[in-house]
């Protein structure tokens, strides 16, 4: 089957990190990832195989698709984190488990109220957004420590789920700001 | 190693011969064809010396057709049979068409895609487009006195799956081997970037006759990476013509027009619009069929006012694309203006105000797309110029989703995902013993399926009977490098491949194309056979070349036994292809060689990735 079922790791590559020959950890050398991605696409992109045989074209489509998925997953911190949890055999349960500590939920409600109060006020919305962005950056630092130094995937997952709330909140503000103009 | 002695790579052809590939800009108003000549992309001229061909087709009572300037000359006299701006109808139903009451055609509302009733019967937009494409192909063949290996055909970046598929079908109908559908702004960025050695983030603002695209790209070291794209596939110069015509009709209080007046007043308004790009005011004079005549002065200011909402629409798309790319205005190095409609002063002004930069108008906005397409076509057929390789990384313009219970859409592939891209989704049954289920794939950003474009409705059949919720059907949506979707499905628990019938909500089945080929080009059966045989022979040669080339470089990846397994079908095809008269035999031989090389292709690809990642620079590899 060759690398046909890359995603099921039957092929030559066990995971996205190994695919790009990067260490399996949360901290990532972004320029190195970008470079590896481009090197792979230079080889496998369908544009490189237009005159090839049908089997070559199929291979190219599958691996280029895999490379895109792998790159999109690794380049975004939260996606990368959830992926590391999956590799460690932990189910993130994003759809089924929404329980969070009460304190965190209270804070979320305060943020939502602040967002609603800001209504069409661009300055206020931007201020709120950068405040939450700072919080998110802090979370990402902590998540890195949990994964890479303390090797505590369970706690890392907990923080990841909280960070996802913050990321969605930032997207929501983005959307509201775009509606203003 | 007898194999390598059969032919060195490239020797089955003249080694100095370049493969001829063309780039086609199939525009709403005008179409162009370009190709590389002496390492420079050039627009191929028609016999009469024209660089652009009006995208107009006229159907005559005698079964013949006219196109281009010849058809344009009759556009006013024979409006019902002379189709202009057909691109706006590609992959569209009648209900999608704005201003349809101001158009002179006899529309037929076929399911999925409209048709136009002409003196030669009903014609689909695909058939009309194929007439244009066939002439461009002919023009290129005449120019080279040779056959064309393949073509890159450009489409608006914001074209959805239905519009892309329709374009590809039209090319196939015109006998063109489509190397790739390329997004117009990406083609423009390629031409601009290569000519100017540009690096950094660029915005491509592409307003054509019927479509608007905005793409944000990052250019660096031979990589053209599309960060986001946006637009409106039903907004273009035509809409400015219609706005002006509406203004004229309102001013003289006329509410209905006959077909000839519709056509000729619209063309008059287009003239006025174009003149206003270089003059501050124009006197519009027109005499209606009933001899009523009007005179109306149109200033740039009036024109700006009546088209203000159209200009605003472009800016809304620009803002959305900038947000999707996470790029701020001051990060944009330059804004490249593409498409004839960017000549309009209100557009220039709006773009300059938003980006706080003078737009880049230093290339011909009508030609840049075709020139970029020609460059890409040349690269794709393998005409390598040393140190002159690049990679285009493009995105899907609109999200793909599936209709869930209650008519809501669940997004499966978000817009602006780099392509090719695939996503798998698991479904289960909700009744005991359920053996089939229906899936509806849509494209668009709206929350309700009915507000999105319906791409395909299909049924999964042959699910093994199980209790409700026990089956696990994995549906995989694959979007290829042309931005086209295909769907496959598999029942995971039993491992049964559920049979899947994808019924496109638009477009054509393969059989339809064969039928149209037969009818439209009135080929005798014998011609059809020769054409099919010729196609298989070309395919055989292509495959033999590819396999021999890969054996030349990567023979070491195979054991002797494995090599033997490839060599047998290879020899067979080698002997068969120049002699066989049977399309079927050739097809079988091609298929068996292709299958025999599947594993080899996988190993080569893996080896290439490993080699690419072990520290060598790109330029050091081959």
For the stretch B524-535, pLDDT in tens is 555 667 777 887
Specify the 3-state DSSP secondary structure of B522: coil
Residue among B312, B266, B279 at smallest CA distance from B85: B266
Query: CA-to-CA distance for A64 and B225, rounded, in angstroms?
Result: 15
Residue A12 has pLDDT above 70, yes or no: no
Band of residue B615 on the pLDDT scale cut at 50, 70, 90:
low
Contacts of B570 in chain A (CB under 8 A): none
Residue A175 structure tokens: 């959307």
SS3 content of chain B, % helix, strand, coil (to 5): 40, 25, 35
Q: B617 to chain A nearest CA, in Å?
A: 9
- pLDDT for position B488: 78
Backbone angles phi, psi at B285, to 5 degrees: -120, 135
| CB of A15 less than 8 A from some CB of B | no
| Optimal mutation site among B150, B592, B598, interface A, most CBs of chain A within 10 A | B598
Q: CA dihedral defined by B368, B374, B379, B381, rounded to 10 degrees?
A: 160
- pLDDT for position B527: 62
Domains of chain B by start residue, with CATH: 21-194 (3.30.420.40), 238-308 (3.90.640.10), 400-512 (2.60.34.10), 526-620 (1.20.1270.10)
Domains of chain A by start residue, with CATH: 6-75 (1.10.287.110), 102-180 (1.20.1280.20)
- pLDDT for position A181: 58
Q: A165 to chain B nearest CA, in Å?
A: 19
Q: A43 to chain B nearest CA, in Å?
A: 6
- pLDDT for position B607: 85
- How confident is the model over B583-607, as a mean pLDDT? 88
Active site residues of B: 25, 87, 184, 206
| Optimal mutation site among B324, B481, B550, interface A, most CBs of chain A within 10 A | B481
Q: Does the bond joining B420 to the residue before it have cis omega, within 30 degrees of 0?
A: yes
Q: CA dihedral defined by B198, B353, B351, B309, rounded to 10 degrees?
A: 160
- pLDDT for position B525: 56
Range of weakest confidence among A58-72, B420-434, B457-471: B457-471
Q: Which of residues 129-168 of B touch A (CB under 8 A)?
A: 150
Band of residue B331 on the pLDDT scale cut at 50, 70, 90:
very high
Query: CA-to-CA distance for B513 and B254, rounded, in angstroms?
Result: 43
- pLDDT for position B126: 95
| CB of B381 less than 8 A from some CB of A | yes
Range of weakest confidence among A14-18, B2-6, B135-139: B2-6
Higher-confidence position of A148 and A2: A148
Task: Say if pTM beats, i.e. exceeds, 0.95.
Answer: no
What's the pLDDT tens digit per position in B550-591? 898 888 899 998 999 999 999 999 888 888 888 888 889 998
- pLDDT for position B263: 87
Among chain B residues, the shortest Cα distance to A32 is held by B613
Higher-confidence position of B64 and B428: B64
Contacts of A58 in chain B (CB under 8 A): 598, 601
| CB of A20 less than 8 A from some CB of B | yes
- pLDDT for position A66: 94
> E strands within B184-317?
200-207, 212-220, 223-232, 281-287, 293-299
Contacts of A45 in chain B (CB under 8 A): 391, 393, 481
Q: What is the DSSP string of B434-501?
A: ---EEEEEEESS-SBGGGSEEEEEEEEE-PPP-STTT--EEEEEEE-TTS-EEEEEEETTT----EEE
Higher-confidence position of B39 and B69: B69
Band of residue A3 on the pLDDT scale cut at 50, 70, 90:
very low
- pLDDT for position B465: 84
User: In which residue are the tokens 């590896």 written?
Assistant: A36
- pLDDT for position A5: 34
- pLDDT for position B3: 38
Residue B117's beta-bridge partner residues?
B106, B122
Residue among B381, B424, B382, B373 at smallest CA distance from B402: B424
- pLDDT for position A83: 95
Question: Percentage of chain A surpassing pLDDT 70?
Answer: 90
- pLDDT for position B280: 93
Band of residue B435 on the pLDDT scale cut at 50, 70, 90:
confident
- pLDDT for position B622: 38
- How confident is the model over B464-472, as a mean pLDDT? 83
């Amino acid at each position: 089957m060759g690398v046909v079922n890359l995603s099921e790791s039957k092929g030559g590559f066990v995971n996205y990190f190994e695919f790009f020959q990067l260490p399996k950890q949360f901290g990532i050398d972004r320029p190195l990832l970008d470079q590896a991605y481009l090197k792979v696409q230079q080889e496998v992109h369908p544009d490189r195989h237009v005159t090839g045989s049908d089997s070559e074209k199929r291979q190219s489509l599958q691996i280029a698709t895999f490379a895109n998925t792998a790159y999109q997953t690794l380049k975004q911190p939260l996606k990368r984190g959830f992926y590391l949890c999956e590799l460690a055999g932990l189910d993130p349960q994003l759809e089924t488990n929404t329980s969070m500590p009460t304190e965190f939920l209270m804070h979320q409600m305060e943020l939502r109220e602040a967002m609603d109060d800001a209504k069409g006020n661009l300055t206020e919305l931007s201020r709120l957004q950068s405040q939450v962005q700072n919080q998110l950056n802090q979370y990402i630092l902590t998540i890195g420590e949990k994964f890479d130094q303390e090797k505590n995937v369970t706690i890392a997952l907990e923080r990841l789920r909280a960070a996802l709330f913050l990321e969605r909140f930032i997207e929501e503000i983005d959307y509201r700001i775009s509606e203003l103009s | 190693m007898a194999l390598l002695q059969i032919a060195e790579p490239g020797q089955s052809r003249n080694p100095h011969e370049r493969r001829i590939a063309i780039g086609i800009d199939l525009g709403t108003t005008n179409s162009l064809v370009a190709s590389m000549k002496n390492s420079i992309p050039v627009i191929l001229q028609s016999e009469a010396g024209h660089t652009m061909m009006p995208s107009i087709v006229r159907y005559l009572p005698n079964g013949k057709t006219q196109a281009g300037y010849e058809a344009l000359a009759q556009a006013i006299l024979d409006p019902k049979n002379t189709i202009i701006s057909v691109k706006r109808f590609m992959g569209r139903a009648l209900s999608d068409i704005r201003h349809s009451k101001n158009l002179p055609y006899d529309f037929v509302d076929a399911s999925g895609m409209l048709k136009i009733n002409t003196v030669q019967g009903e014609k689909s937009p695909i058939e009309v487009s194929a007439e244009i494409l066939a002439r461009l192909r002919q023009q290129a063949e005449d120019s080279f006195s040779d056959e064309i290996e393949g073509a890159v055909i450009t489409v608006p970046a914001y074209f959805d799956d239905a519009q892309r598929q329709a374009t590809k079908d039209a090319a196939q109908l015109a006998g063109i081997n489509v190397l790739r559908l390329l997004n117009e702004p990406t083609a423009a960025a390629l031409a601009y970037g290569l000519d100017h050695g540009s690096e950094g983030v660029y915005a491509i603002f592409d307003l054509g006759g019927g479509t608007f695209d905005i793409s944000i790209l990052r250019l660096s070291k031979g990589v053209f990476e599309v960060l986001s794209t946006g637009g409106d596939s039903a907004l273009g110069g035509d809409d400015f013509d219609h706005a002006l015509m509406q203004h004229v009709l309102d001013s003289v209080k006329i509410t209905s027009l006959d077909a000839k007046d519709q056509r000729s007043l619209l063309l008059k308004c287009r003239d006025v619009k174009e003149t206003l790009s270089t003059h501050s005011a124009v006197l519009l004079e027109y005499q209606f069929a009933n001899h009523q005549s009007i005179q109306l002065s149109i200033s740039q200011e009036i024109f700006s006012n009546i088209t203000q909402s159209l200009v605003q629409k472009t800016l809304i798309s620009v803002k959305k694309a900038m947000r999707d790319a996470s790029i701020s205005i001051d990060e944009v190095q330059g804004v490249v203006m593409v498409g004839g409609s960017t000549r309009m002063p209100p557009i220039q002004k709006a773009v300059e105000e938003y980006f706080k930069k003078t737009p880049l108008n230093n290339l011909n906005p009508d030609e840049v797309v075709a020139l970029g397409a020609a460059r890409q076509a040349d690269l794709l057929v393998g005409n390598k110029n040393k140190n002159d390789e690049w990679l285009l990384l493009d995105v899907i313009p609109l999200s793909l989703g599936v209709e869930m219970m209650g008519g809501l859409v669940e997004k499966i592939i978000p817009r602006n995902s780099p392509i090719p891209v695939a996503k798998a989704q698991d479904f289960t049954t909700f009744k005991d013993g359920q053996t089939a289920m229906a899936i509806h794939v849509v494209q668009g950003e709206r929350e309700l399926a009915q507000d999105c474009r319906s791409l395909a409705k299909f049924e999964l059949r042959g699910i093994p009977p199980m209790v409700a919720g026990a089956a696990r059907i994995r549906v995989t949506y694959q979007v290829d490098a042309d931005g086209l979707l295909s769907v496959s499905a598999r029942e995971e628990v039993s491992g049964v491949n559920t049979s899947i019938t994808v019924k496109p909500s638009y477009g054509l089945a393969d059989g339809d194309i064969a039928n149209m080929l037969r009818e439209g080009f009135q080929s005798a059966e014998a011609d059809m056979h020769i054409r099919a045989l010729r196609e298989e022979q070309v395919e055989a040669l292509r495959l033999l070349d590819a396999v021999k080339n890969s054996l030349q470089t990567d023979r070491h990846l195979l054991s002797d036994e494995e090599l033997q397994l490839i060599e047998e079908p290879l020899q067979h095809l080698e002997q068969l292809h120049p002699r066989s008269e049977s399309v079927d035999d050739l097809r079988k031989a091609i298929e068996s060689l292709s299958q025999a090389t599947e594993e080899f292709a996988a190993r080569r690809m893996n080896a290439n990735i490993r080699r690419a990642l072990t520290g060598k620079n790109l330029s050091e590899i081959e």
